Amino acid sequence: MHSSQRGFFLIEVIIASSVIAVVLILLIGSIQNTVEVSQRALERTQASFLLEEGAEATKAIRDTSWSSISSLTPGTTYYLSYNGSAWVFTTTPVVIDRFTRSIVVTNVSRNATDDIAASGTTDSGTKLVTVTVSWSASTGLQTKSLAFYIANIRQ
């Protein structure tokens, strides 16, 4: 084999190795991006389940005793805790994995036509509940919220 052919072969090997290295780097970057996107989707899904559970737990507390809801201080942040037999509100933060779920209950006002309004007469049988789940992610603090009205169904 001539020395120029050996030199050309060496250049081909270097070019082929470079192409393979670039492809591998791009593939690894793509896999890493896919893992990060999957992780964020998993976190959002977990947060959604915790929101739903928070709403259902609040309804279960309401079904047991409306006074457990109506006696809460409006605008105060509460947390849900399961004591082994029932859900209860607490002012102590409860962390579930990396997630913190909070509940804020506010009064509801009704206008002269009995519609929910920004101001008017306070409806003691209806509350606005906002469940919020927050967690620390690679992109910073993330939150998801769910707001719904809850009523005293045993009036």
- Reference 103, options 65, 64, 75, 70; nearest CA is 75
pTM of the model: 0.78
- Confidence at residue 9, expressed as pLDDT on a 0 to 100 scale: 80
- Confidence at residue 127, expressed as pLDDT on a 0 to 100 scale: 97
Q: What is the pLDDT along the chain (155 residues), one digit of tens a residue?
A: 555 566 778 888 888 888 888 888 888 888 888 888 888 889 999 999 999 999 999 999 999 999 999 999 999 999 999 999 999 999 999 999 999 999 999 999 999 999 999 999 999 999 999 999 999 988 899 999 999 999 998 76
- Confidence at residue 155, expressed as pLDDT on a 0 to 100 scale: 62
- Confidence at residue 48, expressed as pLDDT on a 0 to 100 scale: 96
- Confidence at residue 68, expressed as pLDDT on a 0 to 100 scale: 94
Residue with tokens 């739903």: 52
- Confidence at residue 11, expressed as pLDDT on a 0 to 100 scale: 85
Question: How does DSSP assign the chain, residue by residue?
Answer: --HHHHHHHHHHHHHHHHHHHHHHHHHHHHHHHHHHHHHHHHHHHHHHHHHHHHHHHHHHHHHH-THHHHTSPTT-EEEEEE-SSSEEEESS--EETTEEEEEEEEEEEE-TTS-EESSSEEEEEEEEEEEEEEEEETTEEEEEEEEEEEE-TT-
